[in-house]
Structure 1
Amino acid sequence: MDELQDAIEDATYVNAISGQGEGPRPMVPWIMPGEEELAEWKQMVREREAAEDKKAFSMEWTLSSALGLFLFSAFLKDNCQDHVRINFVEAVNRWRKLQGQQNNDQALQIAQTYLFENEPNSETGLLKLPAKTEIGESDLACLSSNLGIPIAELQELVEQNYDPASTKCCLAMDGPERDQVIATVEATSTSESMDSSAVIPHTALPGHLFDRVEAIILESLRKDFWTRFKRSNEYARLMMFMWYQDKKVVEDDFYVMRVLGRGGFGLVTACKKGTSGKFFALKVMNKKRLKIKKSQQLSLNERFALASVDSPFVVGLKYSFQSKDNIFLVLDLMTGGDLSYHLIEQGYFERNECLYYAGRIMLGLQALHDINLVYRDLKPENCLLAEDGRVKLTDLGLATEITPTLQGAAGTRGYWAPEMLRRDKDGKRMPYGHTVDWFSFGCVLAEFISGANPFRTEAALNFGLEQGKKTKEKAIDHATLEMNPDLESGNFDEDATDLCRKLLDKNENTRLGANGCKEIMAHPYFKDVNWEMIIKDQKLPPYEPPKDVNAASQSEIGTFAEDKTYHDTPFEPEDDEVYKYWNWTNPKAFAAEVIEFLIYERITGARLYPIPPPTPCCCAVC
């Protein structure tokens, strides 16, 4: 019977994740809060934002969020037939994210499209307008606002530079601000054309190039449309979504699917958010089990690390919330399985796979180091594949802040760095820093190349036993401290051997990576890697996992027995104080979730309505 239930739930799960490309399938409707409830929420937001000297619900405040810009843009394009000015604002804010030659090229493109003189249509006499474009990304926000320009000065700038009747350019800009931008862009363009072979532009454009023109355009949009926008359906929906962002998240907001794995304190399941239809992974940790194992701080460490890091190479935290008995983390759903699973299936990874996985893992580690965290638990099991094969680090429970007194072994034996095991002449453990992660990275890379971690092999075990170590654990630790593993046979080429040797340097001060991941990236092993494509998350994975469960069966994963110790352990109100600040909604992730939903509505041309919940005979999602 268990096998039949497993098969039913597996088939339902595979069917659900295979349909992700067809768009979100919500289970319950978004519900507009009542007038009184909305008024109370608005007052709370005003007070919260005022404490940070921000004016809630102003145009600047609204457009500084991706969701606010998205819906204001949709209002202008759909209801006001005015796309040119807001498309310019969108183009400028995309441009601000670019660097180097791309930045210069795009600046010229923006100026030519929106600021250069345009020939009027020969038949109508009207200016030729650029084609309307839609926002297709989930993280585009207007960050410059009005640059803190006093309102009187801003209005004067508008008077001097903006004339709706002007035919100078499609933005109706005609004045010194437009002239200044054009002169700067043309000077840079001329300078670069003198040496077309230059890799780096001779003249870097200033980051504030479009700021004043953008401020003028935004002020013109405010005068023309802001009052109308605040009476629109788009604004009403914006208020509803923002209210949801502040609303307390509860377990019933999610429809639970298949169990994907288990940790020391609870299960990890796939789930679907009822309102948006978005799939996530739900990590559940039981408060009482955490107390029994004295591991509350580990859970807090993980929540802190996940909320602090924002990287495409680390699994993202979307929500954290709690119930009476459990704490929850809502994370990216990585349906492709972990690299340990695929390594066992394949034996070892091909060179292109090694380069891709190692590159992304390296950048994930560096993202943690950049915020003064050390991971301490790198192993193939903690590297998860997304549906398309992109790999991300997961399980940040052992990640911790780097301090001068950080010490003690953490993670998995055989991946530990030697400095985690060393003791001084008085027998005390010695402190360590971020370089422990680069030793673990060396172990993992060697495992990708050869199929085996060099310190978890028969040779490593025998090395320790021959030195008089009595247990398997002590033998592996001794090999970590003293053994130079064989890295020259099998799939290791000269560059791979050299890189792994330098990563597995017993001396943390001379270990490759001690000065950051850039010195690893520069190693000849990675000579064929296009780092720009990797860093921008644009490099296509070399392997796409099958649309399958890619995890152990649910009966193998098992459940947790509530034994005598569990029942006898009290959980007092003061124990809950540990989780006082646990609840959190990631604003960037929430905006992305809603915008994905709205983009699908735009594509289909219709509102998305909930699918009736499935019958309880099989599963909890459709």
Structure 2
Amino acid sequence: MEELQDAIEDAQYVNAMTDEGPKPSKEWPYPDKQTLTDWKASKPSDFFDLEKLCEQSMPLYMLSRYVKEETSNSAEMLFVEDCCRYRRLYGNVARGAQCTAMVEAFGGSTEVQNIDMLESNLERKIHGSYTDADLEKMTADTVGKGTGPLALGGALWDEAVGGHNSKNYDDLLWDKLDAIVFAQLKTKVAAGFKGSLMHEKMCQFLYLQEAAVEEDDFALFRVLGRGGFGMVNGCKKCTSGKLYAMKVMNKKRVKLKRSEQLTLNERVALAAVDSPFVVSLKYAFVSEVDVFLILDLMTGGDLSFHLAQKQKFSKEEAQYYAARIMLGCQALHDEGYVYRDLKPENILMGDDGKVRITDLGLACKITKTLHGAAGTRGYWAPEMLRRDKKGKKMPYGHCVDWWSFGCMLAEFISGVCPFRSEAALKYGQDKGKTEKEKAIDLATLEMDPEWDPESFDEDAADICSKLLIKDEKKRLGWNGAKELMDHPWFKEIDWEMIISDRQVPPYIPPKDVNAASQSDIGQFSEDKAFKNCKLEEKDQQVYKDWNWTNPRSFQTEVIEFLMYEKALGRPLTPPRAANGGCCQIS
């Protein structure tokens, strides 16, 4: 009977992944008119200024819909959107192509070479009057102050790109023209937009963005894995039909292991890091007995699962996965975090074949006194194990992640982690360490791995050796991920494509349950200690600031819902279930 239930849940999960379009099972809880009026009145005076609104993706989408559907100003809106798109792109090739397309579309010729010529052509293409005074005023008021639609993600890759593109247009050109066109657009449409149904719907969703979600807002699918304090399930947001992963951590189990601070660290770190190479936190909320994290649903399984299937990865696969993981680590380091638990089990694959770092439970801020082993033995860096002359544990920093990265990279290439191998165990035992754990630790501190030429070419052996240097100050990565990017082993990698998240993955997982069976995942036993554990008010207060909604993720979810609704040509409403609940999975 248990196997039948597993099969049913697997089928529901696979069906949900392969459905075309969202299938909501619950109405959006829109506020009533008075509640929305009061909410609007509570906002700062400039909250609804068009420049402020258009710094957010969903209001910009709503404005675009209004302009294109209700006015004759589509050309201005298209130009503003193209400027936003240009600023989000990474690299000379991508920006150059977008720049060329914009010149052709709005300038009338690819031979336009300066702002005056392009501005003149824009004036003919887009009905408006742009004077030198407009240019001077709008540049002073808007450009470089983080306002206006062009500010959306504009600074993300500026330093790397260097403000250059293949057509030799300065980025400031698009800043200036966008400022002018947006000013004209605002003059023509702001009043109408404010009084439109689209504006009212935008306000409703902005109100909902601030409202806390709860357990009943999600419908569960099958169990995907088990963490230290609870299960990870596939789930669906009932109002939008969007699929996510739900990580549940039981407050009693957290309390019994005295891991409240680790749990809070994970929640804070996930909210702080915004990277396509790290699993993103969408929502966080609590119940009386559990805390919840709603995360990206990565349906392709973890890299440990795929390594077990393939024994080792091809060079193309190893390079692609390593490049993304490396950038994920750097994203954490840039925010002042060290990850401390890098291993194949913690790298998840999406249904598109792209991988991300997950499980930030051991991630923490880097401090001068950070010390102690954390993570998984065999991936620990030597500095986690070292002690000074007085026997005290020594501090460490971000370079422990590059050591773990080196262990994992060697595992990708050969199928074996160097310090979880028979060679490492034998090394420690030959040195007198009879216990397996202590033998591995000694190997970590002293052994230099050998690189089998059947698996490791010269560049592969070199990069792994340099990542596994015992002295962290001499280790590859001490000065950041750029040191790794410049290594010859990565010479075939197109970093522009990787960083911009446009590289096609070398492997696409099947549309299936790429995870262990539910019986293998198992369940938590409720032993005597668990049953006797009582949650007091002070235990609940630990999580008083837990609730959180990722604004960008919520707005993306809303945009996807509205776009699908528009394509259908009708409102997307949930089926009327006999029980009236949200837990019916369709």
Please, what TM-score do these two structures have when normalized by structure 1? 0.84
Specify the alignment match of 1:35 in structure 2. 33
- 1:36-75 mapped onto 2 (5 Å cutoff): 36-44=34-42, 46=43, 50=44, 55-75=46-66
Greater mean deviation of Cα atoms: 560-569 or 470-479? 560-569
Specify the alignment match of 1:536 in structure 2. 500
Specify the alignment match of 1:283 in structure 2. 247
Specify the alignment match of 2:344 in structure 1. 380
Which residue of 279, 300, 319 maps to 1:355? 319
Greater mean deviation of Cα atoms: 535-544 or 548-557? 548-557
Are the structure 2 counterparts of residues 106 and 346 from structure 1 closer, same or farther at C-alpha, using a change threshold of 3 Å?
Answer: closer
Structure possessing the higher radius of gyration over alpha carbons:
1
Matching residue's letter, 1:40: D
CA distance in 1, matches of 2:536, 2:168: 61
CA distance in 2, matches of 1:178, 1:111: 21
Deviation, structure 1 residue 109: 4.4
Matching residue's letter, 2:22: P
| Structure 2 counterpart SS, 1:257 | strand
Instruction: Tell whether 2:200 aligns with 1:229.
Output: no
Greater mean deviation of Cα atoms: 168-177 or 72-81? 168-177
Are the structure 2 counterparts of residues 238 and 454 from structure 1 closer, same or farther at C-alpha, using a change threshold of 3 Å?
Answer: same
Contact 1:177 1:212 in 2 (8 A): no
CA deviations 1:4-37 (Å, max 9, x no partner) are 1111111111111122xx1111111223211222
Which residue of 124, 133, 140 maps to 1:168? 124
Instruction: Tell whether 2:451 aligns with 1:487.
Output: yes
Which residue of 256, 264, 272 maps to 1:308? 272
Matching residue's letter, 1:501: S
Are the structure 2 counterparts of residues 221 and 444 from structure 1 closer, same or farther at C-alpha, using a change threshold of 3 Å?
Answer: same
| Structure 2 counterpart SS, 1:328 | strand
Instruction: Tell whether 2:442 aligns with 1:478.
Output: yes
Structure 2: where are the runs of 5+ without partners? 111-118, 137-162
CA distance in 1, matches of 2:60, 2:268: 29
Specify the alignment match of 2:8 in structure 1. 8
Structure 1: where are the runs of 5+ without partners? 119-161, 181-198
CA distance in 2, matches of 1:405, 1:579: 26
Contact 2:224 2:518 in 1 (8 A): yes
Deviation, structure 1 residue 223: 3.1
Instruction: Tell whether 2:554 aligns with 1:596.
Output: no
CA deviations 1:454-505 (Å, max 9, x no partner) are 1111111111111111210000000101111121343111111111111111
Specify the alignment match of 2:82 in structure 1. 91
CA distance in 1, matches of 2:355, 2:123: 51
- 1:543-554 mapped onto 2 (5 Å cutoff): 543-554=507-518
CA distance in 2, matches of 1:474, 1:7: 42
Which residue of 281, 285, 294 maps to 1:321? 285
CA distance in 2, matches of 1:266, 1:102: 43
Contact 1:101 1:200 in 2 (8 A): no
CA distance in 1, matches of 2:504, 2:109: 40
Instruction: Tell whether 2:306 aligns with 1:342.
Output: yes
Specify the alignment match of 1:611 in structure 2. 575
| Structure 2 counterpart SS, 1:209 | helix
Contact 2:86 2:95 in 1 (8 A): yes
Specify the alignment match of 1:459 in structure 2. 423
| Structure 1 counterpart SS, 2:451 | coil
Deviation, structure 1 residue 355: 0.7
CA deviations 1:76-101 (Å, max 9, x no partner) are 11122431111111112222234546
Contact 2:459 2:488 in 1 (8 A): yes
| Structure 2 counterpart SS, 1:488 | coil
Deviation, structure 1 residue 344: 0.7
CA RMSD in angstroms comes to 2.5
Instruction: Tell whether 2:67 aligns with 1:76.
Output: yes
Contact 1:256 1:620 in 2 (8 A): no
Contact 1:117 1:169 in 2 (8 A): no
Deviation, structure 1 residue 552: 1.5
| Structure 2 counterpart SS, 1:282 | strand
Deviation, structure 1 residue 242: 0.9
Deviation, structure 1 residue 169: 3.5
Contact 1:177 1:213 in 2 (8 A): no
CA deviations 1:98-126 (Å, max 9, x no partner) are 454654564454355335699xxxxxxxx
Matching residue's letter, 2:305: Y
Are the structure 2 counterparts of residues 615 and 16 from structure 1 closer, same or farther at C-alpha, using a change threshold of 3 Å?
Answer: farther
Deviation, structure 1 residue 614: 8.6
Are the structure 2 counterparts of residues 212 and 503 from structure 1 closer, same or farther at C-alpha, using a change threshold of 3 Å?
Answer: closer
Matching residue's letter, 1:170: I
Are the structure 2 counterparts of residues 179 and 556 from structure 1 closer, same or farther at C-alpha, using a change threshold of 3 Å?
Answer: closer
Specify the alignment match of 2:536 in structure 1. 572
Deviation, structure 1 residue 271: 0.3
Deviation, structure 1 residue 535: 0.7
Specify the alignment match of 1:121 in structure 2. none
Instruction: Tell whether 2:106 aligns with 1:114.
Output: yes
Are the structure 2 counterparts of residues 409 and 214 from structure 1 closer, same or farther at C-alpha, using a change threshold of 3 Å?
Answer: same
Specify the alignment match of 1:23 in structure 2. 21
Deviation, structure 1 residue 293: 0.5
CA distance in 2, matches of 1:167, 1:381: 56
| Structure 1 counterpart SS, 2:306 | helix
CA distance in 1, matches of 2:462, 2:584: 51
CA distance in 2, matches of 1:489, 1:551: 33
CA distance in 1, matches of 2:34, 2:133: 46
CA distance in 2, matches of 1:201, 1:271: 42
Greater mean deviation of Cα atoms: 27-36 or 340-349? 27-36
Matching residue's letter, 1:493: D
CA distance in 2, matches of 1:383, 1:593: 24
CA deviations 1:190-233 (Å, max 9, x no partner) are xxxxxxxxx97699644432444433433333333222222222
Deviation, structure 1 residue 400: 0.6
Matching residue's letter, 2:487: H
- 1:393-408 mapped onto 2 (5 Å cutoff): 393-408=357-372
Specify the alignment match of 1:468 in structure 2. 432
- 1:144-293 mapped onto 2 (5 Å cutoff): 168-176=124-132, 205-293=169-257
Matching residue's letter, 2:129: M
Matching residue's letter, 1:321: F
Specify the alignment match of 2:144 in structure 1. none
CA distance in 1, matches of 2:30, 2:52: 22
Number of positions where the alignment pairs a residue of Structure 1 with one of Structure 2: 549
| Structure 2 counterpart SS, 1:280 | strand
Contact 2:95 2:166 in 1 (8 A): no
CA distance in 2, matches of 1:211, 1:373: 34
- 1:387-426 mapped onto 2 (5 Å cutoff): 387-426=351-390
Contact 2:128 2:184 in 1 (8 A): no
CA distance in 2, matches of 1:368, 1:502: 21
CA distance in 1, matches of 2:338, 2:123: 58
Contact 1:14 1:548 in 2 (8 A): yes
Are the structure 2 counterparts of residues 473 and 239 from structure 1 closer, same or farther at C-alpha, using a change threshold of 3 Å?
Answer: same
Deviation, structure 1 residue 510: 0.5
Deviation, structure 1 residue 167: 7.0
CA distance in 2, matches of 1:601, 1:486: 58
CA deviations 1:105-156 (Å, max 9, x no partner) are 64454355335699xxxxxxxxxxxxxxxxxxxxxxxxxxxxxxxxxxxxxx
CA distance in 2, matches of 1:93, 1:177: 24
Please, what TM-score do these two structures have when normalized by structure 2? 0.89
CA distance in 1, matches of 2:466, 2:123: 64
Deviation, structure 1 residue 589: 0.5
